[in-house]
């Protein structure tokens, strides 16, 4: 009888623990996996021109609109903050690099990556940050500082690694032995993360080269995107104008990325006709992208046929009549948002 009572007592304890755990799980706020959008493009998307803030580039405008549709604050969720931008013709900066830093995009393949010194981001309005770094060998040390807090991370092996900094203040500084790749800064409990990995001046040749470097494909695989937006072609037109080469390399980029991101839906973007190009030649080149999107059954952001040039709509373009203003990015967002929303359905 005593054995039966002991058994009954232990059973009550086990049931009590299980009930407590269930109640805690039920009452704890549930955080769904964020939807993740990755954008691979060039200056049309990175923000070169007369764009006043990173959040005014069209991928982040689309992100804000999609969050609003989900009943969330426009600034909620995750925002990819690259370690640098490409060139001087920017109305904003994403980070500040200390003297001694050098561009590591060619080394690791992720646009904007820096090495050699500390990188500081302005993180006002964000709650936490996922820091992406690349280690050349095991045992490399990285530190992240925000306010009076400092977090250390030691790489277990060579390759891409991430670590999280909670309760970030107005700025975040990362330094280390290897490469500082970038940061996903998060605000609130938003359920959409936007990774704008675009790089001004890039062509399909550049992106294929970066995909063969050691960090870009692992980063995309780690993101596990729901949507990938691929919008290239302008620089291919100017550099070679070879339609067959562009078509083949566009497919190759898709295939390499799709191999590590099999869940992702795809959206393809074309680019508006510049005043300095033959409209017929430009449209013929951009048609390659539209045809490939149709072949895959993917939505397209059809700027080549729907976005006016600088002569017809000067408010959309910067002083060089090629790159864009805030209004230009808002125009693209009007066309991109339904295409990306369709891909997310």
Contact 126, 185 (CB under 8 A): yes
Contact 199, 171 (CB under 8 A): no
Structural domains in the chain plus CATH codes: 33-76+191-345 (3.40.50.1110), 93-188 (2.60.120.260)
Helix, coil or strand: residue 42: coil
Residue 4 has a pLDDT of 39
The pTM for the full model equals 0.90
Distance, CA of 219 to CA of 221 (rounded, Å) = 5
Please give the chain's pLDDT, 345 residues, in tens.
Answer: 444 344 444 434 333 434 433 433 343 344 578 999 999 999 999 999 999 999 999 999 999 999 999 999 998 999 999 999 998 899 999 999 999 999 999 999 999 999 999 999 999 999 999 999 999 999 999 999 999 999 999 999 999 999 999 999 999 999 999 999 999 999 998 999 999 999 999 999 999 999 999 999 999 999 999 999 999 999 999 999 999 999 999 999 999 999 999 999 999 999 999 999 999 999 999 999 999 999 999 999 999 999 999 999 999 999 999 999 999 999 999 999 999 999 998
Half-sphere exposure of residue 125: CA atoms within 13 angstroms, side-chain side: 10
């Amino acid at each position: 009888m005593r054995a039966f009572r002991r058994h009954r007592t232990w059973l009550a304890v086990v049931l009590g623990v299980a009930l407590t755990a269930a109640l805690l799980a039920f009452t704890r706020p549930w955080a769904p996996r964020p939807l993740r959008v990755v954008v691979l493009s060039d200056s049309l998307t990175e923000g070169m021109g007369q764009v006043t803030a990173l959040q005014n580039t069209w991928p982040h405008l689309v992100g804000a609109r999609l969050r609003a549709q989900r009943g969330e604050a426009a600034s909620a969720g995750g925002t990819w903050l690259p370690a640098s931008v490409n060139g001087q013709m920017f109305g904003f900066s994403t980070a500040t690099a200390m003297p001694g830093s050098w561009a590591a995009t060619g080394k690791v393949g992720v646009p904007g990556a820096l090495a050699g010194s500390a990188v500081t981001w302005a993180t006002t309005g964000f709650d936490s940050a996922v820091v992406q770094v690349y280690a050349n060998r095991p045992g490399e040390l990285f530190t992240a500082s925000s306010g009076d807090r400092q977090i250390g991370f030691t790489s277990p092996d060579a390759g891409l690694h991430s670590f999280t900094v909670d309760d970030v203040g107005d700025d975040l500084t990362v330094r280390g032995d290897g490469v500082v790749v970038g940061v996903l800064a998060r605000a609130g409990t938003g359920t959409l993360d936007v990774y704008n990995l675009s790089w001004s001046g890039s062509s399909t040749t550049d992106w294929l080269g970066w995909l063969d470097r050691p960090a870009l494909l692992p980063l995309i695989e780690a993101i596990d995107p729901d949507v990938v937006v691929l919008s290239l072609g302008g620089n291919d037109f100017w550099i070679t104008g070879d339609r067959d080469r562009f078509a083949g390399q566009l497919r190759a980029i898709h295939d390499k990325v799709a191999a590590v991101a099999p869940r992702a839906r795809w959206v393809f973007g074309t680019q508006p006709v510049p005043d300095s190009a033959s409209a017929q030649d430009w449209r013929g080149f951009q048609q390659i992208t539209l045809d490939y999107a149709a072949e895959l059954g993917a939505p397209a952001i059809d700027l080549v046929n729907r976005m006016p040039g600088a002569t017809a709509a000067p408010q959309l373009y910067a002083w060089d009549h090629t790159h864009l203003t805030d209004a230009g990015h808002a125009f693209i967002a009007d066309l991109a948002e339904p295409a990306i929303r369709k891909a997310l359905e």
